[in-house]
Structure 1
Amino acid sequence: MDLRDDLATATLETLPITVAVLDAEGKILLTNQSWREFNPEDGDHVGVDYVATAEMVEDDDEHARQAVEGLESVLDGNRESFELEYPCHTPDEKRWFLMRAFRFTVDDDPRVSVVHLEITDRKLAEIDAESAAERLREEQRMLEHVLERVDGLVQDVTDAAVGAASRDEIERRVCRRLAETDPYVLSWVGRVDVTTRRVSPREWAGRDDVPLEDDELVLSSDETHPAVQALDEGQPRVVQDVTAFDHADRWWPTGAGELFQSVAAIPLEYGDVTYGVLVLFAEEVDAFDQRELLVLESLAGTVATAMNAIEARRMLTTETVVELEAAIEDSSLFVTALANRIGATVTYRGLTYDRDGTALTVFYVNETGGVADVADDLEGVEDASVLSEYEEGTLLELALSDGIVAALADHGGVIQRFDATPEDRVGDLVLQLPNGQSARSVYDLLEERYDRAELISYHESDRPTRTLRDVAAELDSKLTDRQEMALRKSFYADYFEWPRGVSGEELAESMDVSRSTFHQHLRAAQRKLLEELFAVDPTSEG
């Protein structure tokens, strides 16, 4: 045996795979160390008919039958190679192997090499991948089922909410549409009485045999009912199986589980304003999974938005107005914090919004020099900039994370006065609101947010048939966002005074536009304002 043969033999012995060489009859001529170590009790298998051994288990093993057919085909010269993946499990573990057979000749005598590679790691990875793929396919099937079931529901509820003329009509139409959708059997919308804090169903629809709650629902007194939990926490709450719910007997009569199986409550919220709660009963257990809740939350948002629009419209058309004055004492209130830090009076001037919808509040501070830097360091101030600086004061534009000014606007409130002096350490707020309910809602908001909120005065009064608010509402439908911003910034910054408090270049820079673009927005806004004031139809001739 020459060096080449020695090298080949040594290499074969050290390979980390099992190798055997067969003669033309299928008998084993040679095995390597890995082969012998795989089943050491059986020896080296030299002289054993490998094909016959495989045939012994052929009747019981489909993989053995395929191995025999493949090996015989290679031994007969019908094919040059063959491979087969097969399991080789033990009671302790699962294992898989890949067998490969290759035909070759030595001195014109046919030979076949048989190699076995362990592929357990690869097979386990493939099994995991297939399991994950099946889970994804199941998720896709479930999602398609949900989308098919709610097909048209979203559009119908949106149409019902947007097309309604009153809040009562929204609640009535939405409840009816939801009750018509499987698997829901009852739907009701509840409102909170501001004085008693009780939650009461105002509108409901569904099967007559499904009862409404027997007991009173009172906020913060008993948080076991999902509607109370949803309102207290501002998050959807679900009972997936009423028969396993500890407090079911208190809220629903005995045997209710035969009429419905699960309950969901979703708060109706628009910004900081809560208009009530939507409660749904379903005849199936676990009816409200994450996909279902996403759809219902979207619907609840649409309903609340429509309610807010109706409340705002009602304020524009009502003949009476409620004026509320409150004193707020809290170190976190921006106007008092800034007044105390600077030692000067802080007065509210107005509210506008930037292109991203961020509320920008304008305040006049009876002080000059470094006022914006002081404001920027206060908690709750995201950004502070100077719109204009005078000899005795500074006009600030502030983006506030506190959001109290925008929250008051969402409640339908119009700020008449909002100021603070360093001596009093109290913020004085005067608001106009469309009705008593809005006033109570705003006062609740102030009590929840601040350490102390004291009601100073409250009275209702008639207002003229056409007010500046009517004009503002009409203008709001005509002005673009940029035109309104240019007009508001110019007014708040005393651009229309003489001498001007700020230049057009400065205002353009604050809006991140060119000077010519700013003046285009401003001129267009001024034209629309004058058209509204003088009732001029811009499309008329002459």
Structure 2
Amino acid sequence: MTDRTATQDRTDIPAHPSPDGSEASQQEGSVGSDLVPVLRGVNAAIVSASTREELADRVCTYLSDSPRYRAACLCDRPTCAGQSDNWTVAGAEPGETPTLLDDCFAPADAEASESGPSPVSIDAGQTGWWTVFTLTYHGTSYGAFGVLSSQQSLPDRERTVLQELATVIGHAITAVETRRLLAAPAVVEIELVSSDTTNPLVAAATQVGCRFTLDGLLPTTGTGGVAYLTVENASVVAASEQLTESFADDVTVVTESPTGEGTLAWRLNTDTVLGQFRAHGAQVTETLVTSESARYTVELASGSDVRSVLQCVRQRYPDTRLRSKRELERPVQPPRLTDDDLASLTDRQRSVMEAAFHAGYYRWPRAATAEEVATSLDISAATLHGHLRKAEHQLLEKLFATGPRPIHDGTR
């Protein structure tokens, strides 16, 4: 192989002639029909992959089997950063992977697009050109993938389609890591401490003089998730306003006590530490944020790339350190109800809930209204709602109140 140099992919760079001598406009028009069956195969492979390695192998195989590309490759984030050499390759020898420069995928500014930096073209000598894309999902980079073709610059439409595919692969990696965590026979527990004042929660805690603890971190469509946070020692309204004003995030007050403390819901992006954890499929079990620092205890599936997670966090919040790391021989168990939990309901609560269930009140669309269920039990609709609300709250508290465990200062 000859020396390879990377250049930012530009539409004004003339492409190498295609084997049949067709013009660029003809190439542009054929992109859709040629790529449709390939993308269908890639999507099917992504959905059925059970591990990240299997996902990478299937993506590269499908792309390299396409008549449009001579080879395909995929690497993880440490490889992009020059810290390892972990490539999956199909259609080429391992040594023929693209040489990534340190600044290949450095964003032009802090306002990098959701889809990540622009693709780059890398000279592969006699075999053609690699076009390399970052695997980015909601602002988090998982690595890169490339296709080898005879063209130095792929048609605009083709690059757009492949950039969208890179986002799909990034999303799939998140899903695979989450499934691994839930199915893992053991977990790696890490504790991170961040005193970075640009951390939104640390900054808000400093300004308001409050303390945050995490009650729950849930996935949502199109974001890094939503965090439910308890605010202590200060007004939950003031904490919410500070987060909203300083970081323009979607923050909502959920509950407020007579003393002003309460709970807020914060819709995250992956630029936050909690959002990064969500993006990596990790489970945050403990969180404590004060004006001095933020402490997080996180569980990942055994064998996960802890260094990559820490690197992602440090890239945005440099003053973050790994305080501890240990492997625990316990699977991550989803919350569940037991017979004892059901037995804690009163006879009336249980009978009302069972009647509502059998009547189809909980179906969608409902097979019976609350008024109809109440009439069958010879009670008022208000009484029915009262029994159902108390029973539902009691069961949901059993189910979800054992989420993230609060960190107590100095002890656990």
Tell me which interval the TM-score lies in, with the shorter structure as reference length.
0.5 to 0.7
Counterpart CA distance in 1 for 2:161 and 2:29 is: 13
Higher Rg: 1
Residue aligning to 1:166? 51
Counterpart CA distance in 1 for 2:65 and 2:397 is: 50
Report the 3-state secondary structure (helix = DSSP H, G, I; strand = E; otherwise coil) of the residue aligned with 2:147.
strand
Residue aligning to 1:145? 30
Shift of 1:316: 0.7
Residue aligning to 1:212? 96
- Deviation digits for residues 393-438 of structure 1 (CA, Å, limit 9, x no counterpart): 222223355443222112122222222233xx11122211223534
Counterpart CA distance in 2 for 1:444 and 1:297 is: 23
Letter in 1 for 2:295: D
Shift of 1:371: 2.2
CA pair 435-200 structure 1, distance change in 2 beyond 3 A:
same
Counterpart CA distance in 2 for 1:304 and 1:276 is: 8
Is 1:309 the counterpart of 2:175? The answer is yes
Counterpart CA distance in 2 for 1:520 and 1:158 is: 47
Shift of 1:282: 0.5
- Name segments (4+ residues, structure 1) moved above 4 Å: 138-143, 353-358, 518-533
Report the 3-state secondary structure (helix = DSSP H, G, I; strand = E; otherwise coil) of the residue aligned with 1:463.
coil
Is 1:268 the counterpart of 2:153? The answer is no
- Deviation digits for residues 174-222 of structure 1 (CA, Å, limit 9, x no counterpart): 21221122331121112244898435353212256x96049xx5763xx
Residue aligning to 2:359? none
Counterpart CA distance in 1 for 2:304 and 2:101 is: 17
Counterpart CA distance in 2 for 1:218 and 1:143 is: 27
- Judge conservation of contact 1:381–1:399 (CA < 8 Å) in 2: no
Counterpart CA distance in 2 for 1:168 and 1:344 is: 43
193, 196, 202: which one aligns with 1:327: 193
Matches within 5 A, 1:54-453: 143-193=28-78, 197-198=82-83, 200-206=85-91, 212-213=96-97, 217=99, 220=102, 223=103, 229-230=104-105, 234-239=116-121, 248=123, 252=124, 256-257=125-126, 259-260=127-128, 262-286=129-153, 288-352=154-218, 359-369=225-235, 370-372=237-239, 374-376=241-243, 378-392=245-259, 393-400=261-268, 402-422=271-291, 425-453=292-320
Counterpart CA distance in 2 for 1:171 and 1:352 is: 27
Report the 3-state secondary structure (helix = DSSP H, G, I; strand = E; otherwise coil) of the residue aligned with 1:198.
coil
Counterpart CA distance in 1 for 2:155 and 2:387 is: 52
CA pair 469-179 structure 1, distance change in 2 beyond 3 A:
farther
- Judge conservation of contact 2:77–2:308 (CA < 8 Å) in 1: no
Shift of 1:522: 7.7
Shift of 1:320: 1.1
Counterpart CA distance in 2 for 1:339 and 1:531 is: 30
CA pair 191-447 structure 1, distance change in 2 beyond 3 A:
same
Matches within 5 A, 1:441-480: 441-464=308-331, 467-468=333-334
- Judge conservation of contact 2:209–2:234 (CA < 8 Å) in 1: no
- Judge conservation of contact 2:197–2:203 (CA < 8 Å) in 1: yes
Counterpart CA distance in 2 for 1:456 and 1:356 is: 31
Report the 3-state secondary structure (helix = DSSP H, G, I; strand = E; otherwise coil) of the residue aligned with 1:184.
coil
Report the 3-state secondary structure (helix = DSSP H, G, I; strand = E; otherwise coil) of the residue aligned with 1:468.
coil
- Judge conservation of contact 1:348–1:418 (CA < 8 Å) in 2: yes
Letter in 2 for 1:429: Y
Shift of 1:462: 0.8
- Judge conservation of contact 2:134–2:166 (CA < 8 Å) in 1: yes
- Judge conservation of contact 1:375–1:381 (CA < 8 Å) in 2: no
C-alpha RMSD of the superposition: 4.0
- Judge conservation of contact 1:347–1:420 (CA < 8 Å) in 2: yes
Counterpart CA distance in 2 for 1:470 and 1:195 is: 41
Counterpart CA distance in 2 for 1:412 and 1:189 is: 20
Counting aligned pairs with the same residue, the percent is 22
- Judge conservation of contact 1:272–1:410 (CA < 8 Å) in 2: no
- Judge conservation of contact 2:225–2:278 (CA < 8 Å) in 1: no
Report how many aligned residue pairs link the two structures: 323
Shift of 1:530: 11
- Deviation digits for residues 134-169 of structure 1 (CA, Å, limit 9, x no counterpart): xxxx99865432222223111011112222232222
- Judge conservation of contact 1:388–1:396 (CA < 8 Å) in 2: yes
Structure ranking higher on relative contact order (CA contacts 8 Å, 6+ apart): 2
Of 389-398 and 311-320, more deviation after overlay is shown by 389-398
> What is the TM-score of this pair, normalised by structure 1?
0.52
Letter in 2 for 1:175: C
Letter in 2 for 1:282: S
Report the 3-state secondary structure (helix = DSSP H, G, I; strand = E; otherwise coil) of the residue aligned with 2:249.
strand
Counterpart CA distance in 1 for 2:283 and 2:55 is: 25
- Judge conservation of contact 1:446–1:453 (CA < 8 Å) in 2: yes
Letter in 2 for 1:155: R
- Judge conservation of contact 2:181–2:282 (CA < 8 Å) in 1: no
Question: Unaligned regions of 5+ residues in structure 2, if any?
Answer: 1-22, 109-115, 338-381, 401-412
Shift of 1:351: 2.6
Letter in 2 for 1:318: A
Letter in 2 for 1:235: P
Counterpart CA distance in 1 for 2:135 and 2:278 is: 18
Shift of 1:304: 2.5
- Judge conservation of contact 1:371–1:394 (CA < 8 Å) in 2: no
Counterpart CA distance in 1 for 2:131 and 2:330 is: 43
- Judge conservation of contact 1:372–1:384 (CA < 8 Å) in 2: no
Report the 3-state secondary structure (helix = DSSP H, G, I; strand = E; otherwise coil) of the residue aligned with 2:197.
coil
